[in-house]
Every structure is written in structure tokens, then in C-alpha cells.
């Protein structure tokens, strides 16, 4: 690849991308086959493409916008044209018209115009154009479709029409009587041995190590910057890390497969990032991460609330005296909340989780939006220490038991 890139080079590369753009396969797809089609067209791991979409989704939802555009403008493998082109009357597509219209309407909020003034639209489009240019410039010659859609049109040009026909008869047909068989090998010609060529020994790629090192630098810089700028919150830092590691995986794929091991970091980071940006964590201390254990021995030592953003809170109330009343809340964003109460205390407890499991003084349930309310006076009946609890975990387990 030349080091000097001109505007005409970029235009020619993007036009060629459009002319030979990927097609969405029916097999191997997770949603609409956009990632699977891109991976198949450029012969890279589809997991890398899906991670790239997740990483862009963390950037103000840009990945959602790009995926919707791919769904609209990339044809399925057995269709004449894409769904959007079919809506314009340029050919046949198996995508229902109603779904095409809904996808087009979904693009409007996905641009982020009504949320952040169009930052998602501008940033996502520029990022995707750059990625398309690099990917197609480096691997556009691979797995080109047999029929290539013309630029901006629904018509297709077959490879037979694109190929240059042989006009000189071979030696075995000097009269030109059988032009349909001129592509056959000469009689007596030695056939090339069938079999795969030995694979060259590849040098171990350093892409993964370099990307991991850059991620550590980004993490360190973000932690330092968080003391001065409010933007460097946990979800934003995770987004930066996923972007750096995802870029390393993409670069490694273009260089021959290096950096695949980064997937074991990108996937869990992406999951945590999506969870933190999708869930309502209001009321939970954003600066508290890790495990918190408390065992008060008097009513006065019981705090109004125990909380953690990511981790667990373990509260042991079995050391309290047998008289008095305490009221407290336990809140965890991502993790477990566990409370142990005395065997004879009068307990009124509310246990909640948006996604996870609840074990609330004998009441058990699991799944989405679990909510249990229990009043239990213990083995000795009403009287004695009174405890009022509100125990909550956004994603995780809530356990309230007797000691």
C-alpha cells in the first residue's frame, strides 16, 4: 500500500467497495447477517467484526447506526438488490417493505441528532468510512462476488461478461471447430499436482502485545485524567479500552491473524460497558468498586445505606442486641447483596433485582425484575429487635437469611 493517499485513491477505493460490497448470508448470522457478510467478504473472523460493532455501540450508539445502514444497503446472498434499493424500485429483495420502512425510521433516532446534536451521525459515519477504506484497500481483492453490483445501480454484471474471451484457437483445434472447449488444457499436458501448498511458517505477531500495552497506557492516563475531568467515568474508560483492543484485533486480522487473544478481554469489557450504560444505577455510589463487609454490634452503628457499584456488599446483623429498631438499605449495581439477620428478630424486608436471583427469607425466584416482600417474626414470634430492610441488586444475587 502506498504511503501517499490522495482524494482520488479514497474515492476509487470506496466506489470499488460499493461495486463489490458484501452480501448478507443466511447462515452464520446473529441478527441480519451484516457482520457475517463483512467477515465472509474479507475473510476475517466474524467475532472481530461483531466486537467492532459492540465497540462502536459504546461510542454514543454509532455501531447501531452503522449496523442499520448495513441492514438497509447490503443485499442478502440470494437477492437482486438491497432492501433500500428494492424500496426505490431497482430490483427484488426478500426483505418485507414494512420492515424496510421501519429500519429507515429507526435510522433517525440512531443518528443521535435529537440526543447529542448529531455527534453519533458524524463520528460514526467518519469512523466507518475510515474502517471501510483500510479494510477494502488491504483485502478488497479477496473473495470478490461472482456477480458484482454496478455502482449506484441494481443491475449486475456477470464474471463471464467481465472476463476477456480467448480468440486464438489452441493447437489441438486449428480449424476452430470447437470454441466452446478452448479453455480445456492441451492434450498430454502435465497436470499440476493436486493438494494444498505447504503453509509458510509465520512469525509470531506482536500486534496483541502492542495493543494490550496501549490499553494499559490508556487506562493509566484515564485514571489520572479522572481527577480533573468528569468525562472519564467508568463506562467511558471501558469504551476507550474496548476501542483500543478492538482496533488491535482488526489490525491483527489485516496482518494475518495476530491479536486474536484480545477477544478474551474485549468480550467481558464490552458486556460490562453495555450493562453500565444500559442500566439505571441511580442511588448507587459511583466511586465504590469491590467488596464491602460490615458487622455492627449496636443499633447506633448501623448505617442508613450500604452500597457498591461493582462488587458485593455483605452485611451481618447477628451481633445486634435483642432490643431496638434498625432501618437500612443495601444497594449494588453489578454484584451480590447479602444480609444475615438474627434468628429471633422481627424482620420486614424487600428484596429486588432487575436481572438475577432472589433468596429472601425462604422466598426464592430468579430471572428478570424479581421482587419479593417478606415479613417474618422469627422462631420466638413477635417482639424483640425490629429490622426493616430494602436490599437491591441491578444485576446479581440478593440473599437475606437468618444466622
Among the candidates 259, 278, 297, a domain finishes at: 278
- What is the average per-residue pLDDT within 205-231? 81
pLDDT at 193 over 60: no
Do 145 and 256 share a domain, yes or no?
yes
Average pLDDT over residues 349-354: 92
Domain shared by 333 and 391, yes or no: yes
**What are the pLDDT digits (tens) for 37-80?**
998 888 888 888 887 777 777 666 677 888 888 899 999 988 88
Calpha distance 253→148 (Å, rounded): 25
Whole-number percent of the chain with pLDDT over 70: 70
Same domain for 300 and 256: no
375: left (phi over 0), alpha (psi -120 to 50) or beta: beta
Domain count, the chain: 2
Spacing of C-alpha 239 from chain mean position = 11
Residue 369 lies in a domain: yes
The arithmetic mean of pLDDT across residues 212-218, rounded, is: 86
Measured CA to CA, the distance from residue 225 to residue 232 in angstroms comes to 7
Q: Is pLDDT above 80 for 236?
A: no
Per-residue model confidence (pLDDT) at position 301: 94
Look up the domain containing 232 and give its range: 7-155+206-278
For residues 243 and 374, membership in a common domain is answered with: no
**DSSP letters spanning 77-141:** TT-SS-HHHHHTTSS--SS-HHHHHHHHHHHHHHTTHHHHTTHHHHHHHHHHHHHHHHHHHHHTT
Domain end point (choices 256, 278, 300): 278
Is 168 inside a domain boundary?
Answer: no
Residue 125 included in any domain: yes
Confidence of residue 89 (pLDDT cuts 50, 70, 90): confident
Evaluate if residue 362 carries a pLDDT over 80.
yes
Residue found by looking up cell 445505606 in the block: 305
Cα separations in angstroms, 162 against 20, 53, 303: 13, 34, 78
Asked, for residue 190, whether it belongs to a domain, the answer is no
Same structural domain, 274 and 298: no
Looking at the fold, whether 219 and 293 belong to one and the same domain comes out as no
Give the position of cell 444500559.
278
Please state, rounded to an integer, the average pLDDT across all residues of the chain. 76
pLDDT, residue 78, reads 87
Instruction: Mark whether 273 and 296 lie in a shared domain.
Output: no
Q: In which region does residue 192 sit, left (phi positive, over 0), alpha (psi from -120 to 50) or beta (all else)?
A: beta
Task: Kindly state whether residues 274 and 293 are assigned to the same domain.
Answer: no
Closest CA to 334 of 365, 289, 370, 367: 289
pLDDT band at 245 (very low <50, low <70, confident <90, very high): confident
pLDDT per residue as tens digits for the range 110-123:
766 544 545 555 66
pLDDT tens digits for range 130-185: 778 888 888 888 878 765 444 444 444 443 334 344 445 566 665 555 555 555 55
- Do residues 88 and 224 both lie within one domain? yes
Rounded CA-CA distance 39/50 in Å is 9
The pLDDT of residue 285: 46
Distances (CA, A) of 356 to 302, 361, 389: 27, 17, 19
Banded model confidence at residue 358, pLDDT cuts 50, 70, 90: very high
Amino acid 258: pLDDT? 62
- β-bridge pairing 346-360 and 363-376: antiparallel
Residue 177 lies in a domain: no
Residue 166 lies in a domain: no
255 & 357 share domain: no
Residue 231 has pLDDT above 90, yes or no: no
Its pTM surpasses 0.75: no
Are residues 97 and 243 located together in one domain of the fold?
yes
Is 35 within the bounds of a domain? yes
Question: The C-alpha cell of 50 is what?
Answer: 461483531
Q: How far apart are CA 310 and CA 269, in angstroms?
A: 13
Please tell me the predicted confidence (pLDDT) of residue 6.
Answer: 66
Span 359-384, average pLDDT:
87
Write the DSSP string, 192-245.
PPPSPPPPPPPPPP-HHHHHHHHHHHHHHHHHHHTTT-TT--HHHHHHHHHHHH
Residue finishing a domain among 219, 251, 278: 278
State the Cα–Cα distance between residues 77 and 75, nearest whole angstrom: 6
Model confidence at 403: pLDDT above 70: yes
CA distance 81 to 75: 5
Is 199 a domain residue? no
Residue 324's pLDDT is what?
92
Contact 341, 379 (CB under 8 A): no
Check whether residue 258 and residue 311 sit in a common domain. no
Taking the C-alpha atoms of residue 77 and residue 133, their distance in angstroms, rounded to an integer, is: 23
Amino acid at each position: 500500500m502506498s504511503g501517499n493517499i490522495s482524494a482520488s485513491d479514497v474515492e476509487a477505493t470506496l466506489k470499488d467497495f460499493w461495486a463489490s460490497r458484501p452480501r448478507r448470508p443466511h447462515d452464520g448470522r446473529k441478527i441480519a447477517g451484516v457482520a457475517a457478510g463483512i467477515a465472509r467478504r474479507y475473510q476475517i473472523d466474524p467475532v472481530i467484526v461483531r466486537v467492532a460493532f459492540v465497540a462502536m455501540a459504546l461510542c454514543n450508539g454509532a455501531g447501531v447506526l452503522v449496523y442499520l445502514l448495513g441492514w438497509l444497503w447490503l443485499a442478502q446472498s440470494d437477492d437482486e438488490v438491497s432492501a433500500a434499493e428494492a424500496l426505490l424500485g431497482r430490483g427484488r429483495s426478500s426483505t418485507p417493505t414494512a420492515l424496510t420502512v421501519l429500519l429507515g425510521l429507526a435510522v433517525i433516532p440512531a443518528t443521535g441528532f435529537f440526543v447529542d446534536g448529531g455527534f453519533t451521525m458524524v463520528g460514526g459515519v467518519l469512523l466507518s468510512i475510515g474502517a471501510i477504506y483500510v479494510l477494502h484497500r488491504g483485502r478488497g481483492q479477496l473473495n470478490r462476488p461472482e456477480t458484482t453490483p454496478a455502482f449506484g445501480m441494481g443491475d449486475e454484471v456477470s464474471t463471464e461478461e467481465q472476463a476477456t474471451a480467448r480468440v486464438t484457437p489452441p493447437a489441438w483445434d486449428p480449424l476452430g471447430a470447437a470454441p466452446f472447449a478452448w479453455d480445456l488444457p492441451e492434450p498430454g499436458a502435465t497436470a499440476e499436482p493436486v493438494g494444498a501448498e505447504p503453509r509458510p511458517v509465520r512469525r509470531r505477531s506482536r500486534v496483541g502485545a502492542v495493543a494490550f500495552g496501549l490499553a494499559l497506557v490508556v487506562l493509566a492516563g484515564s485514571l489520572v485524567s479522572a481527577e480533573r475531568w468528569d468525562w472519564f467515568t467508568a463506562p467511558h474508560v471501558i469504551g476507550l479500552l474496548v476501542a483500543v483492543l478492538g482496533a488491535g484485533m482488526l489490525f491483527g486480522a489485516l496482518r494475518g491473524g495476530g491479536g486474536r487473544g484480545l477477544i478474551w478481554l474485549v468480550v467481558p469489557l464490552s458486556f460490562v460497558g453495555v450493562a453500565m450504560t444500559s442500566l439505571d444505577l441511580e442511588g448507587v455510589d459511583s466511586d465504590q468498586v469491590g467488596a464491602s463487609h460490615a458487622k455492627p454490634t449496636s443499633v447506633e452503628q448501623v448505617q442508613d445505606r450500604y452500597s457498591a457499584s461493582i462488587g458485593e456488599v455483605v452485611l451481618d446483623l447477628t451481633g445486634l442486641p435483642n432490643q431496638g429498631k434498625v432501618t437500612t438499605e443495601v444497594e449494588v449495581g453489578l454484584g451480590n447483596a447479602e444480609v444475615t439477620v438474627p434468628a429471633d428478630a422481627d424482620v420486614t424486608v424487600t428484596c429486588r433485582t432487575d436481572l438475577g436471583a432472589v433468596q429472601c427469607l425462604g422466598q426464592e425466584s430468579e430471572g428478570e425484575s424479581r421482587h419479593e416482600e417478606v415479613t417474618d417474626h422469627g422462631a420466638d414470634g413477635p417482639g424483640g429487635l425490629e429490622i426493616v430492610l430494602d436490599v437491591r441488586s441491578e444485576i446479581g444475587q440478593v440473599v437475606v437469611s437468618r444466622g
